[in-house]
Structure 1
Amino acid sequence: MKRWKVLSAVVVSGVLVATNLYLITKEDSKVSRSIFVEYWTKVKAATVTETFETKGVTIPAEEYEVYFDESGKEFQRFLVKEGEEVTAGTPLFEYEVKDLEKNKGEVEREITEITGSITEIEAYIKKLTDYKAQVPNASTVSEIVQGGVGLDRNASSDLIISTLEQEIYKQELEKSKLEERKTRLDSQLAAMNELSGPLTIDAEVDGVVKRIDQSLNNPVVIIASTQQAVKGVLSESQLHKTTVGMPVKITSPRLEKGINGTVGSVENYPVSEPSLNQKSMFPFQVVIAEEEDEEGVLPPLAVGSKVDVTVVTNEAVDVPTIPEKTVYGKDNLYVFKLTNNGYVNKQYVTAGLRANQKLEIASGPAEGDVVLVTPRVIPKNHSTFITPIQVEKVNLDAYNTFTTREKWRHFLVGLLEK
């Protein structure tokens, strides 16, 4: 009888254990179960940068054209050679002025004429000022009319004064223009008086003499600036992402570190004539920032050097971010957040910028929150979770405080979840 009771108890216990195991492991079971979490990550503040890459070649940032006006001048000789470095103020070529004395005489005659005109205007202004002080004397009005000022003899005093003031302003304006012209002619005459031999045309910028036209066809000299730029081409999709002012990173095997720059220009007309049989490519240019190291300005690459160009089309700085592999859903994105209480909670996310398998969180988990990474199975909302044992962090003293029942419970839960 006693043996039968023991056997019955064992059978009942086995059935209960088997039933519970079935309910726990059965799919869509309503029995609460824990999930085993192997990988997780925290929401971290980081910078998300959206970029694209293309190729480029270094060129002079600008070219300056120097012209020679042959009228009244006689070219003498060039003072520089192609490939020569020049600075602002370097003489480029010499010339002499033809018929210098004749030109001086013409300038002097014009100065005399302008001086006479200024004297006449000053006298007329004085006369108008005197008239204005005598209004409304009747004889004064007659004199004003006879003097050529458009005025009705029966006009009021206010109208007469207003008309005189307008005429005075008009004459003073004309006088000012003549004085400006005379000042320029005086400077020109002074320069002519100082001429004693050939004159020179000087460089206005630092650079390298790119070309000299010995036939004196303008431009006679072209100077390429020492400041560099990068030119390249964009595909149609890249063109629509690119705007002037975007940051750029320029790299090359010949550079110890990348060079910063900005998009300086983007052309909307393709390099080649548009065709259905080939892709359209669009020119763009990058302005290189002048950077310095401990020894001064960094030396530029040789003109014509091939470089890699990375254009930053969008950037979110110091924002909450998570890896894209932690995000689920298509239209309504969500993550599984691990709470300090041991639960896995589903939380919806509003995505910001995405780039390099990283996602900006516009709204959702906060910085420092822990989210689940690639679980074996998609957990139910508000499930409990367990994590792998970290042997290096195991405290045997804490383990010894568990009761035998608690030890078996944790062992069986871990065994079942594993």
Structure 2
Amino acid sequence: MKKWSFLLIAFALLFIAVNVYLIEKKNNKIDRLQYVSKWETVKQSHLIESFSSDGVVAPSETHYFYVDKKAGFNQFLVKEGDTVETGTPLFDYSTLNIEKQKELLDTEIDRIEQEIDSIDSHLQNLSSLLSDAEKDEATQVKTDKKEEESTSIPKTVSYSIKIEINQKELEKEKLEHQLKQYEEQKDNYDSEAKNLTIVSNTSGIVKNISYNLKNPVVTIVSTSPVIQGTLSEEQLSQVESGMKTISTSPLFKGKITGVLEKISTTPKNKPKVEEKSLYPYEISLDDFEQKLHEGYHVNTEVITKEISNAIVINKDSMFMQNKKYYIWVLDKGLIEKKPITLGFQINDKQQVNSGTQIGELYISEPDSIKQSGRFITPLDLGDIDKKSIKQVKWKSALKYVTIGILQK
């Protein structure tokens, strides 16, 4: 009995030793099987690299209007919450002084117009007198030619009338010139009165009115919102104008896309050694259906890198040999080592520029594979046909088990 036990142990040790020798022997012809427990498929993916930033909804533009307290403020013509357009009156100044000056001018204009009317009436009378005088003088010349020839022509009545007419016309001309000046001055006062009404140069909503006349007295914000926030020093080095953004909030449904438009390279806070600097940014929004209110807080994903239709693998599935990258692929029952060229790596995904194709199977744990060759996978008990197993004779089963041990 002891002899048979000894022989059985010796046989087992010899069996193990022979298998170890055959497996480890270099250049042996035994085809080693690799055990593959995990594999994945090369996929096509949309790669996005981004970072998250908190922001707030704000008006895209803010306009301030100031009052000149020395000009004599009169009243506000709008109230907070009003929607205004370009040209909408906001407030005006008092026109009391201008109205007084216009009243004085109107008095002077009336006086001058009366004087002109009086001169016109006088000129008509003088014209009539001149006509009569010239007729009388013509008759006298015919009856006394000798006297006219022997003596110089005296200053006649008609001559005196003509002088007076010229004087009155000159006086009228001066009055008309003065009247024109007064009327122009009155027009200037009318223009000044119009300028005393301050109108909006933009469209929007009246956000604030300072009724105590502390400037700015009127604040108007635009109706188109933007998202404002701040970037850290690290984030500032990653961004540039034109990058896409996606904003979300529990205050509204869906996502709002936009573009990073303004990036300040000057810190929002005064630089200090003990504090990190923050840099303001502004996002212009694409068309959206959500109702946004100023002050809504949002979370924004800033997309710093984006690749469409990229061929990707898991970043942990590649390995390096001789400064080149490889992956283990499964093809027709064999494991093959394939060289690949890399693109961008975003999170746990690695873009592959060449060396593999979509749908190809690759091993996700490359350290578990020693070399190329055939492979086996874990047994799925659910796929076993119990009836077929019962039909296998015990000698055949022992044969298959022995072959499996030797090949392993």
TM-score by length of 2: 0.63
Tell me the SS of whatever aligns to 2:324: coil
Aligned to 1:379: 370
Aligned to 1:49: 48
Q: Residue type of the partner of 1:369?
A: E
Distance 1:18 1:229 in 2: 75
Aligned to 1:5: none
Distance 2:246 2:294 in 1: 18
Q: Is the 8 A contact 1:269 1:282 kept in 2?
A: yes
Aligned to 1:78: 76
Distance 1:261 1:233 in 2: 16
Aligned to 1:359: 350
Aligned to 1:247: 244
Tell me the SS of whatever aligns to 1:22: helix
Aligned to 2:260: 263
Q: Per-residue displacement from partner, 1:105-136 (whole Å, max 9, x unpaired)?
A: 9xxxxxxxxxxxxxxxxxxxxxxxxxxxxxxx
Distance 2:401 2:240 in 1: 61
Q: Per-residue displacement from partner, 1:26-51 (whole Å, max 9, x unpaired)?
A: 49785431111111110011111111
Structure 1 segment 128-277 matched on structure 2, within 5 A? 201-202=199-200, 204-212=202-210, 214-215=212-213, 217=215, 219-277=216-274
Distance 1:51 1:417 in 2: 50
**Alpha-carbon spacing, 1:250–1:16, altered in 2? closer, same or farther (3 Å):** same
**Alpha-carbon spacing, 1:306–1:412, altered in 2? closer, same or farther (3 Å):** farther
- Indicate the structure (1 or 2) with the bigger Cα radius of gyration: 2
1:62, CA displacement in angstroms?
A: 1.4
Aligned to 1:92: 90
Q: Is the 8 A contact 2:319 2:366 kept in 1?
A: no
Q: Is the 8 A contact 1:36 1:417 kept in 2?
A: no
**5+ residue gaps, structure 2:** 1-7, 106-186
Structure 1 segment 229-378 matched on structure 2, within 5 A? 229-292=226-289, 298-300=290-292, 302-329=293-320, 331-340=323-332, 342-374=333-365, 377-378=368-369
Q: Residue type of the partner of 2:338?
A: Q
Tell me the SS of whatever aligns to 2:236: helix
Distance 2:209 2:260 in 1: 28
Identity of aligned residues (%): 25
1:329, CA displacement in angstroms?
A: 2.7
Distance 1:246 1:323 in 2: 26
Q: Is the 8 A contact 2:84 2:204 kept in 1?
A: yes
**Alpha-carbon spacing, 1:283–1:390, altered in 2? closer, same or farther (3 Å):** same
**Alpha-carbon spacing, 1:32–1:211, altered in 2? closer, same or farther (3 Å):** farther
1:361, CA displacement in angstroms?
A: 1.1
Q: Residue type of the partner of 1:337?
A: V
Aligned to 2:116: none
- Of 358-367 and 90-99, more deviation after overlay is shown by 90-99
1:206, CA displacement in angstroms?
A: 2.5
1:383, CA displacement in angstroms?
A: 1.7
Root-mean-square deviation over aligned CA pairs: 4.3
Structure 1 segment 113-124 matched on structure 2, within 5 A? none
**Alpha-carbon spacing, 1:299–1:213, altered in 2? closer, same or farther (3 Å):** same
TM-score by length of 1: 0.61
Q: Is the 8 A contact 1:91 1:203 kept in 2?
A: no
Aligned to 1:59: 58
Corresponding residue to 2:380 among 379, 387, 390: 390
Distance 2:74 2:327 in 1: 80
Distance 1:405 1:337 in 2: 36
Distance 1:29 1:276 in 2: 66
Tell me the SS of whatever aligns to 1:335: strand
Distance 1:406 1:414 in 2: 12
Tell me the SS of whatever aligns to 1:325: helix
1:407, CA displacement in angstroms?
A: 6.3
1:323, CA displacement in angstroms?
A: 1.4
1:337, CA displacement in angstroms?
A: 0.7
**5+ residue gaps, structure 1:** 1-9, 106-188, 293-297
Q: Residue type of the partner of 1:305?
A: Y
Distance 1:289 1:79 in 2: 34
Aligned to 2:161: none
Q: Residue type of the partner of 1:221?
A: V
Distance 1:409 1:212 in 2: 99
Q: Per-residue displacement from partner, 1:66-90 (whole Å, max 9, x unpaired)?
A: 466899x8754212223x1414255
For these two proteins, the number of residue pairs brought into alignment is 312
Distance 2:37 2:317 in 1: 13
Tell me the SS of whatever aligns to 1:241: coil
Q: Is the 8 A contact 2:50 2:304 kept in 1?
A: yes
Tell me the SS of whatever aligns to 1:307: strand
